[in-house]
Amino acid sequence: MMPLTLAAAGETVVIRKISGKDTMRQHLADMGFVVDAEVTVVSRVMGNLIIQVKGSRVAIDQSVASRIFC
């Protein structure tokens, strides 16, 4: 497993684990970041990531992306 921060732009990965407090995990789940979901790293901007998940594009910062493992 590797954190989502290490995925390259254009790469599609499957989420295997989400760490953090319950409130953070629930917030990510509300945005579509759940175990076994496919996500694509669209681009990186100054350490932040734009992710395509379940047909939507979501911007997350590096600290949040480091809690998502694929």
| CB 37, CB 10: distance < 8 Å | no
| CB 39, CB 13: distance < 8 Å | yes
Domain ranges for the chain: 4-69
**What does the mean pLDDT of the chain come to?**
94
What does the pLDDT average to over 43-48?
A: 89
Tens of pLDDT along 23-45? 999 999 999 999 999 999 999 98
The fraction of the chain above a pLDDT of 90, given in percent, is 96
pLDDT at residue number 46: 87
pLDDT at residue number 47: 82
Considering the segment(s) 4-69 as one domain, its CATH architecture is Roll (2.30)
